[in-house]
Chain A
Amino acid sequence: AQSVTQLDSQVPVFEEAPVELRCNYSSSVSVYLFWYVQYPNQGLQLLLKYLSGSTLVKSINGFEAEFNKSQTSFHLRKPSVHISDTAEYFCAVSEAWKAGGTSYGKLTFGQGTILTVHP
């Protein structure tokens, strides 16, 4: 069964420090991988995604994530965080498969990691 595990529920860091938010997934088929961000009192919005090609993907605000198929991981990193990065981050996996000629699909989210950046 498909599952997504975010290994840290909370990550406190100081401003300008590097950060890594960890995400592991289990799936028996090819997957697409996503990181979403939720700022306080807002809905979720896409941060970055891996569909195919280069295993390193980047967002416009300095985050990057690397797809590691052998370790089934998709960790999110930023070399220097800002106060404004304080938010909850969700890893998600999308997979599709066929059975008996019928296509199925599923989108699964991790439990979230609260990143708190302190001055």
Chain B
Amino acid sequence: NAGVTQTPKFRILKIGQSMTLQCTQDMNHNYMYWYRQDPGMGLKLIYYSVGAGITDKGEVPNGYNVSRSTTEDFPLRLELAAPSQTSVYFCASSDTPGTPNTEAFFGQGTRLTVV
């Protein structure tokens, strides 16, 4: 059981470049999330999805886009990379919040540097 898989693990981008962070889960979870983690700032929610075809903004969505065409996949797109997007990105999935199996499972993270 792979859980939540994120790729790539590391990436260096130049300012203005674009890239897609991939995330896939094999637990048939409805909810998926993208967080960024900066030193001393905890986790900040970028986007989340409550099911295939349904996404919504979190706290810090600017500069990012997402899509959810299948239950398994939830890619995060950076269109014009900026130094402020240097961070560690985590994808997570869970069953519907508020139900007993609502534990969130996290990927191992993607460390992104924009130079």
Contact = CB atoms under 8 A, between A and B. Distances in A.
Interface stretch (A13-21, A57-65, A103-111): A103-111
Interface of A: 6, 9, 29-32, 34, 36, 42-46, 49, 51-52, 90, 92, 94-97, 103, 105-107, 109-112
A43 B42 contact: no
28 contacts: A30-B98, A31-B98, A32-B100, A32-B102, A36-B104, A36-B106, A42-B108, A44-B43, A44-B90, A44-B92, A44-B104, A45-B106, A51-B100, A52-B100, A90-B42, A94-B94, A94-B97, A94-B102, A96-B96, A96-B98, A96-B99, A105-B50, A105-B96, A105-B97, A107-B94, A107-B102, A107-B104, A111-B41
* Chain B contact residues, majority secondary structure: loop
Given A43-B106, A44-B92, A97-B98, 11 more contacts: A32-B97, A32-B102, A34-B104, A36-B106, A44-B104, A46-B103, A90-B42, A96-B96, A96-B97, A105-B31, A109-B45
Query: Chain B, interface size: which category?
Result: 20 to 34
Contacts, number: 72
Nearest to B102: A94
A60 to B, nearest CB: 15
B3 to A, nearest CB: 10
Given A43-B90, A105-B31, A111-B41, A92 B104 contact: yes
Interface in B41-95: 41-43, 45, 50, 90, 92, 94
A94 B31 CA distance: 12
Contacts of A94: 94, 97-98, 102
Contact of B42 (A32, A106, A107, A109): A109
Contacts of A110: 42
